[in-house]
Structure 1
């Protein structure tokens, strides 16, 4: 099995091709320790989300004020927090694995990745909250600033973990790497998003079809409560699969963003050339 060299420039096609190859070669090796770490917060978060949705839909038919739904959604905040933690930890595991792989290490285990969790877990969770708020503010201000920032910060985790930088340095480095490369990077992530969307649609079609059949039956019976119960029951089956598939899609984004990070770093810094000079 040929080892992939991360330290080189890649165009869109090569990045996607090498990302696919890397995932095929390392999927089980990288997912096994990741699931060990994130399974508990992922399952608890999914359970709280299911409970909250069931409660919201069961009460929806009796809500006098439509704004009450926002109160019900606020009750699911603990579930959102747990999901955020789970996906941040997963990203740390993914990119930590890639860093060690790029450095030439073989047989990467959970014990090798644990130091990344200890050093970056809290800081990147808090950083994620700041970045999410920043991008949402950009979306509110006119959408385009939010899209721009989403591409800028697509490599935030890779920079923070691979270069071991703090929030401020990672923020500045994100803008430095993306300068003069925004449109090409946007094209890469647009294609990646479409690929992920296609996979998720194919996976969810059977689940949503079953839920739609239940809703159709309830509509024919002219029973709003039965319709709401049908929706909440269907969501209960879909949500766990939704987050598991989301975890796999996160691996895709993490690998693509890491390849893009190394490509931008090679273009901006010429890191492999410096390494070659140092070896001489």
Structure 2
């Protein structure tokens, strides 16, 4: 067991919390990448195959006039989209569990020595609660959007803090949500800012991973324009381009990047959680005092 370089329970201003997030990523990117790739890699490949199947189905559907065939096409299309939404939710919840489990292991000084399989086992213990908490958070955000758009946007960036509360404390998902509201007292705007900046950084990283998709697209765009000009009544070439093997691989890389970049705001929320706990409870200070007593 080694002492972590970055102290967790510590009062930090906005800049210090973002610096802690970046420093954590710089120190742990390789191991964290490996853990997330173990989850995100297969899921990204599955999602990319579903996407390319959708575009392939769209290409086959061009010119369908039979009503029964059209209904069958839309049923298949709707089923594929439902599968994408379901897999995204399940995989995103797993990314939350793995990312914050790794942060917790880092704070205990054992992250680098813990095998990927063991990190996954620990993450799975919290998986059901994260799924439930995701439903609760989504419901509150939906109601906030229904009341007015701005509160919905605000809650969208603030309430993910509840995942850190649940992952770092041994409490139920509903209790984690309630405790999060307690911790957020007078710190709503700083939490909003942490989430906003974290997601902006994630978006920038996601753009890098999306480059292969753009390369494949622009590599085929001139051929596509030529085919469209030769046969303007048949738009199936567009869908064929997006259902190619190259595009499947590019989609997979982009989605892996999405799962990896999603860890950035999650880590930022983790340090915001630790900051709020230290402000209200002084947990880090108490740990230091206990350490002195043992010496």
User: TM-score, length-normalised on structure 1?
Assistant: 0.85
The Cα shift of 1:152 comes to 2.9
The Cα shift of 1:103 comes to 2.4
Distance 1:216 1:198 in 2: 30
Report the more deviating stretch, 100-109 or 37-46: 37-46
Structural mapping, 1:84-233, within 5 Å: 84-106=89-111, 107-205=113-211, 207-208=213-214, 210-212=216-218, 213-214=220-221, 215-221=224-230, 222=232, 223-233=234-244
Which residue number in structure 1 is paired with residue 88 of structure 2? 83
Report the more deviating stretch, 29-38 or 57-66: 57-66
Contact 2:60 2:236 in 1 (8 A): yes
Distance 2:148 2:250 in 1: 33
Distance 1:42 1:144 in 2: 32
Match among 239, 252, 255 for residue 240 of structure 1? 252
Match among 256, 260, 280 for residue 268 of structure 1? 280
The Cα shift of 1:118 comes to 3.4
Contact 2:212 2:253 in 1 (8 A): no
Distance 2:279 2:207 in 1: 36
Count of residues in Structure 1 that have an aligned counterpart in Structure 2: 280
Matched, 1:51 2:53: yes
Which residue number in structure 2 is paired with residue 7 of structure 1? 9
Q: Where do 5+ consecutive residues of structure 1 fail to align?
A: none
Distance 2:75 2:252 in 1: 23
Distance 1:180 1:216, change over 3 A: farther
The Cα shift of 1:211 comes to 1.8
The Cα shift of 1:98 comes to 0.8
| RMSD of aligned residue pairs (Cα, Å) | 3.0
Larger Rg: 2
Q: Where do 5+ consecutive residues of structure 2 fail to align?
A: none
The Cα shift of 1:69 comes to 5.9
Contact 2:9 2:274 in 1 (8 A): yes
